[in-house]
Amino acid sequence: MKMLVIGGAGYIGSHVAREFLDAGHQVCVFDNLSSGTLENLFPEADFVEGDILDQAALSHVFSQGFDGIVHLAALKDPGGSMQMPDLYAENNITGTINILNAALKANVLSIVFSSSASVYGAPQYIPIDEEHPTNPESFYGFTKLTIDHLLQWFDRITDIRYASLRYFNACGYDMQGRIKGIEKNSTNLLPRIMEVAVGRSRAIEIYGNDYPDTIDGTCVRDYIHVNDLATAHILALEYIVKHRKSLVVNLGSEKGYSVAEMVEAVRAITGQPIPVIQAGRRPGDPSISIASSKKALEVLGWSPRYSELENIVKSMWEVYQ
């Protein structure tokens, strides 16, 4: 198939583009390089620099004709979204509307969307499945949920079919070492720990060490290797092309690691001390968040292959050091 990967120069997008190329598909990357890097592009893929807020640029790239789209372009810092909701609404929601309109006009009717576990908000039960209530606690999560609702309506009243993939905590780097571009300005835990390991930051702040229902008092999260995420995008696209049915699935490892465990794992693998600063809890941080990915296994035949903690940390350290 001929695929348009929107946001394909970014951290997750570059791994998705690589996966489609490895599977023998044609790939065109559309990216404004605000968080992506030229280093993450591949010579086998076409590249068009452009922004999803630029309707003319979208119309131009869609005129090349595609069998499907992967949409990964978004602002994604939950904390930043609470301070700049106007920017997040414009980039995430308006940008997606522009993509959907361009797709309809060009008759590109299969879309894989990069959603997020943030749509669920505070867990009411663990593990979190797709039937869990959606009640986001950040404006970022709200934008992802709003896009899910937009996709549901486009599915209902147009011929567009979609897969909404609700990632838990994406991490790691390509297991074959082919992607070297470090994610810009990441606020995620493991990149911040790696910044300390290489001496670019003084210490890692741990927000809360007094959660009573975790192994060591620090938050527990579900970490999924980015190669595993990338594989799911191909399986999801193949599903909607074959069945002409839309779907929503969680993508997680179904395992939980605490913040303190992640710090210790990086210390053990890198040999670096990783100083820690204890800070208070952040509003909206649940103590535990772990996925149920049962539906992804049943519907797509997907399960994680690389999401063991050692694989995650080693693949990241190889890029950062």
Q: Which residues are catalytic?
A: 140
For residues 167, 298, 16, 1, the Cα torsion angle rounded to the nearest 10 degrees is -140
Residues facing residue 115 across a β-bridge: 166
CA–CA dist 72, 164 (Å, integer): 11
Tell me, what DSSP letter sits at residue 284? Answer: T
Angle at 298 between CA 304 and CA 121, to 5 degrees: 70
- 79 burial class (0-12, 13-18, 19+ CB within 10 angstroms)? middle
Q: Phi first, then psi: what are they for 297, rounded to 5°?
A: -70, -45
Do residues 28 and 57 touch, judged by C-beta distance below 8 A?
no
- Other residues' Cβ atoms within 10 Å of the Cβ of residue 265: 19
Q: What is the CA radius of gyration of the chain?
A: 19
Nearest to 222 by CA among 282, 297, 301, 309: 309
Do residues 250 and 170 touch, judged by C-beta distance below 8 A?
no
Do residues 52 and 73 touch, judged by C-beta distance below 8 A?
yes
CA–CA dist 302, 228 (Å, integer): 9
